[in-house]
Structure 1
Amino acid sequence: MSEIRTPLAVHRTVLAVDVRGFGDQGRNTPAQVAVRAGMYRALERAFRAAGLSWRECHREDRGDGVFVLAPAETPKGPFVETLPRALVTELRAHNAKHPPAEQIRLRMALHAGEVTFDDHGVTASAVNLTFRLLDAPAVKQALAESPGVLALIASGWFFDEVVRNSAALDAATFRPVRVAVKETDTVAWISLPDHPYPPAAEQAPPAEEPPSPAPAVTMTATNSGRGSIYQAARDQHITER
């Protein structure tokens, strides 16, 4: 879909996905073509199953992934309530019919914010943050260690505004992680839609007070929810003060 170009920033839900191991030696060009076709087919079908309009979204190809901007009037809930499970279903159906080199496992990042369109595409700090989340070592590790096909990472804003307020989700199955990639240093939240973390007994506090500069830590919280990297950062900050 072509967006109307305007010098004014407009609000969008920002979604990006990336295929794990797309450039592995075991994937030749025909395998990569099959993976890309399967990825797009899975996304289109998952959007439809989630009640989201793929056609009305602005989309940009990233070779081993896709970048999507949903219109401001599109509800954000389905992006975490129904889209991930629908995408898991489509990915599993694809993988069941294809050899290992053509199978797909995805990372997905979610955020929202103001973006500006120009003659070449879009630009915004919200877009930059989404791609930093997608590249975070923590979400790559989460997917590598999961037997599932999808790992989701949501920004702190998306978690606080959408996940925490959803009647269809258990926010306690998300885990906080520190994301320190390039100029970004923030707290985000990871979930594994097809192999969810057990509900945490205690959730880390919201990222209202940023931690003091410290060596980047990218491990997820323990299954019990205690000892999260965010809580550790807060404890260190308190001690140093």
Structure 2
Amino acid sequence: MSGNPVHRSILAVDLENSTGVLRTNPIKEELRSQIYGQVKRAMASAGIDERWCDPFEDRGDGVLALFHPVDELPKTRLLSRLVPTLARQLADYNESISTAERPSRCMRLRAVVHAGEIHRDENGPFGEAIDLACRLLDAPRLKKCLRATSSPLVLAVSEDIYWGIVKHGYDGICPAAYRPDLRVSVASRRRQGFVHIPQEAPKTHEDRTMAVA
């Protein structure tokens, strides 16, 4: 492998309460499958071709997805389409679960979007950009934000994504909906993260028709 880095947009998601007492190993297996499936469905709905994404990296109770910097996949699409779609899918999935099964099978995710230079060896991707994404994803304050909301998903974006994408309001993104609530330290630098709680988008006529079918 060359020592030179390659640029990727980074999406990582992590399941809330994955080690809860009711999460038996068979249920964990089921939820792992659901996470992979939900992310792939959201990608397809957002028009993100799997050819533009490296093979998913497993995080045990989550997924790391690395997207290629192709013109057909601007970073705005991750924020304006993929993440809201994923939040809506999770809401639909949770509503489909019986009340008795919700404590063990309900899915609520923390997500992060970042971008930067990464390296890869035979064991997988690595580098400061991935370190930052993982620190934001695992930040105690982000976990607290998820516990405090009824939304099935909370999103953190790096300061690079906020100032380069969110601030400018591209593609209907609302800067005021992102709060500078996170601080993490990576490579002896204090880094800021912005938290967003996606609102569930109203279902279109096409969505309702597909649900009935």
Per the normalisation by structure 1, the TM-score is 0.75
1:75 aligns with 2:74: yes
- Structure 1 residue aligned with 2:160: 157
1:12 CA displacement: 0.5
User: 1:101-136: per-residue Cα shift (whole Å, max 9, x none)?
Assistant: 111000001110111122221111100000000011
Tell me the number of residue pairs that the alignment of Structure 1 and Structure 2 aligns: 192
Q: Distance in 2 between matches of 1:90 and 1:178?
A: 26
Q: Distance in 2 between matches of 1:184 and 1:141?
A: 23
| Structure 2 unaligned regions, length at least 5 | 202-213
1:97 CA displacement: 2.6
- Structure 1 residue aligned with 2:36: 40
1:180 CA displacement: 3.0
Question: Counterpart amino acid of 1:110?
Answer: V
Structure with the bigger percentage of helix: 2
- Structure showing greater relative contact order (alpha-carbon pairs closer than 8 Å, 6 or more residues apart): 2
Question: Counterpart amino acid of 1:60?
Answer: E
Q: Distance in 1 between matches of 2:84 and 2:2?
A: 35
Q: Describe the SS at the equivalent of 1:148.
A: coil
Contact 1:46 1:87 in 2 (8 A): yes
- Structure 2 residue aligned with 1:179: 183
Say what the alpha-carbon RMSD is for the aligned residues. Answer: 1.8
Contact 1:111 1:155 in 2 (8 A): yes
- Structure 1 residue aligned with 2:131: 128
Closer, same or farther in 2 for the Cα pair 1:160/1:45, shift >3 Å?
same
1:13 aligns with 2:9: yes
Map 1:1-241 → 2, pairs under 5 A? 5-58=1-54, 59-73=56-70, 74-98=73-97, 99-100=101-102, 101-165=104-168, 166-180=170-184, 183=188, 185-194=190-199
1:186 CA displacement: 1.7
User: 1:219-241: per-residue Cα shift (whole Å, max 9, x none)?
Assistant: xxxxxxxxxxxxxxxxxxxxxxx
